[in-house]
Amino acid sequence: MPRYSILITVLIALVVTLGTVSFTVWEFYQLNRQQYLSNIFSKNELVRQIYGDVLERGRDLDVLEKNLATYSLTLIHDYNMKKTILSEGQKVQKEFFESAKNSISKKKSFVVISDILQESFIEMIIHEDKVYFHMKTPNEYFLLEAKDLKPYHMGNLLYSYLTIIWIILFSFFYILRRFYPLRKLRDKIKKFADGDLQVSFKVEGKDEISEVANEFDNAARKINTLIESRNLFLRNIMHELKTPITKGRFSVEMLDDNKYKSRLLNVFIRMEGLINEMALVEQIASGFEQTKVDDYRAVDIISEALDMGFFEPENYSLDISSDLMLHVDYKLFATAIKNMIDNAIKYADDKKVIITAREGKLLFENYGKGLDEPLSYYLEPFTKSHKAVHSFGLGLYIVNAILESHGYTLKYEHLNGWNRFWFEKKL
């Protein structure tokens, strides 16, 4: 899921809501406008009736004009004005009808009724916030201004639409504001995960987010108490275990040389080694401090690993790029390399290992038999090869745990009698 999936969901809901409301308002506007125009266009029947009546009775133009004025309809006589309205006006509705081929005299003469019917039309025109009716017959045309009619305006509808939009936007920002404590809680959880165990999660309020934050604060306090108790226990247990082991080794050294002395000494050495490895496993499992991670030269880290393992020069050969840098915890990564060198020497037929560090890759090669099991088998704790008598089965487990914490993975292949292990950065 995306990082801000809740925010994206709210944004999508906002866009869908705004789109739906806008579409609905637009459709309603179209329908309402059409109904309004149809209603006012019904006045065309009145115009046709007055015109037909005047035509039938043989009346002149003055009579027509007076009859039209009764219904707030005014004839436009100015030619330029008529031309402008007809060319620039918005023609919104039109209707055809049949009329007799006669004309109304502009003088006081009478007209003669003809039996020949011709197709005529009347249309409604909107121009400069005024409504006009344009009627054209075969012999003449009239342009009338409807004084009592106004074009359709969406004022009230627009006001309602803007009010709805404002309410939706206000609700959206209100919801985002309610999510703000959740963002603060996320930042505090991140600090807690990075090792700041004293961070407080308490939030004032009675909503669900406040309840979650306060419950998390209670859990964090309990976790902090457990961690402090565990650290105190580990310090005490390590001290209590190492003290008798150290005393036992001193006591054994005072004995005469015999097979029992050698056995006892090996027992104490193995016990001390097991305690050290278990302490390292615990450190890795609980998470190492990211503040100790920095850029170091690979040659310096490998040199530290060789010193830690007290390896003899004849047991290894180096091919290291002096400018290769690693962004790691110095001590932990050196421990991982030391374990790899120790395993490679221990299981090589010639007790030698070739260490290569070039182009971002750390490679460990030895000549000998391949692994009896898949590599994943040896990455579990307390698993080892049958011939590894003096091993606790934690070597590769510790290596893999250190690599995982640094974003690396351990790879292996056996080719032409050579075992090849290497550290590879995860993508």
Q: Put the strands of the sheet holding 90-100 in their side by side order.
A: 73-75, 141-146, 130-136, 117-127, 90-100
Q: Tokens 């009478």 map to which residue?
A: 110
Q: Phi, psi at residue 194, to the nearest 5°?
A: -80, 0
pTM above 0.75, yes or no: no
Give CA separation, 152 vs 44, 71, 155, in Å.
17, 20, 9
3-state secondary structure at position 137: coil
CB burial of residue 144 (10 Å; 0-12, 13-18, 19+): buried
Over its length of 427 residues, how does the chain's per-residue pLDDT go in tens digits? 445 567 788 888 889 999 999 999 888 888 888 888 888 777 777 777 777 777 667 667 777 788 888 888 888 888 888 888 888 888 888 888 776 555 555 544 333 334 444 568 888 888 888 888 888 877 777 888 888 888 887 777 888 888 989 998 898 888 888 777 777 787 888 877 777 777 777 777 777 777 888 888 888 888 878 777 777 776 777 767 777 777 777 777 777 777 777 778 777 777 776 777 677 766 666 655 555 788 999 999 999 989 888 888 899 999 988 888 998 988 888 888 988 998 899 889 999 999 998 877 889 999 998 888 888 888 876 666 545 544 545 678 888 888 888 888 999 999 999 999 999 888 7
